[in-house]
């Protein structure tokens, strides 16, 4: 498992010990970033259920200004700390051990806002749509925010979650990526360009 592109390209990242964390494969990561980037001109990323921190680190490597990593597992937190150090992105990383729902409440109180959100929960977890709704209600998402939910291909998330709509879905075996962004308002009723 490595950083694929950008400033930290080629750095090898450590996996979380044990069987509880399933890191995103390099193949899926590469496909994902070609859909949402591949590079960024700043912004803040939230890596929820961060695991190894690989997705948030990749986003920083490709131009994001800052990443907030959240995970409940102590081993995952230790692994993220190690990986941000290896990738030389410590100054752009904030790492917190917390439950996803509680973390979102804390971030809302802080007035945080994100341009990119990764949610890669354990495959038995099927409430990522509820977490997205919480983020929308808590005004945690920037105007052009992109949300990526990585989930079991057997589970289907709704096409629309409040003001966000699924604009792309990609399946890789038992892994599916569902990408959401704010639904574009129809501007045909407005003024026309001359």
Q: What is the rounded distance in angstroms from the CA atom of residue 186 to the CA atom of residue 179?
A: 21
- What is the CB neighbour count within 10 angstroms for residue 153? 14
Q: For the residues 40-64, what does the mean pLDDT come to?
A: 97
| Confidence (pLDDT) at 102 | 96
| Confidence (pLDDT) at 111 | 96
Which CATH architecture is the domain 26-182 placed in? 3-Layer(aba) Sandwich (3.40)
* Tokens matching residue 25: 């494969």
| Confidence (pLDDT) at 188 | 46
pLDDT at 191 exceeding the cut of 60: no
pLDDT at 170 exceeding the cut of 90: yes
Q: How many residues does the chain have?
A: 194
**Cβ proximity of 6 and 58 under 8 Å:** yes
| Confidence (pLDDT) at 27 | 87
pLDDT-based confidence at residue 20 (cuts at 50, 70, 90): confident
Q: For the residues 168-191, what does the mean pLDDT come to?
A: 79
| Confidence (pLDDT) at 22 | 75
pLDDT-based confidence at residue 124 (cuts at 50, 70, 90): confident
Smallest CA-to-CA distance from 19 within 99, 125, 123, 118 is with 123
24/101: higher pLDDT: 101
Q: What is the rounded distance in angstroms from the CA atom of residue 88 to the CA atom of residue 8?
A: 7
| Confidence (pLDDT) at 185 | 57
pLDDT-based confidence at residue 26 (cuts at 50, 70, 90): confident
DSSP state of 92: G
pLDDT at 139 exceeding the cut of 80: yes
pLDDT-based confidence at residue 189 (cuts at 50, 70, 90): very low
Contacts of 188 (CB under 8 A, 6+ apart): none
């Amino acid at each position: 498992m490595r950083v694929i592109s950008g400033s930290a390209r080629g750095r090898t990242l450590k996996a979380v010990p044990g069987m509880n964390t399933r890191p995103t494969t390099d193949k899926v990561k590469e496909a994902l970033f070609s859909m949402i980037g591949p590079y960024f001109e700043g912004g803040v990323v939230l890596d929820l259920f961060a695991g190894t921190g690989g997705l948030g680190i990749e986003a920083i490597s490709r131009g994001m200004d800052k990443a907030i990593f959240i995970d409940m597992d102590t081993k995952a937190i230790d692994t993220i700390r190690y990986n941000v150090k290896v990738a030389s992105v410590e100054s752009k990383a904030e790492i917190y051990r917390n439950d996803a729902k509680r973390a979102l409440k804390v971030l809302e109180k802080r007035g945080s806002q994100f341009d990119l959100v990764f949610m890669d929960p354990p495959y038995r977890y099927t409430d990522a749509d509820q977490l997205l709704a919480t983020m929308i209600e808590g005004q945690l998402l920037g105007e052009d925010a992109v949300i990526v939910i990585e989930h079991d291909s057997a589970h289907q998330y709704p096409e629309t979650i409040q003001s966000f709509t699924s604009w792309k879905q990609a399946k890789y075996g038992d892994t599916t990526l569902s990408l959401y962004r704010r639904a574009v308002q129809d501007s045909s009723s407005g003024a026309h360009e001359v």
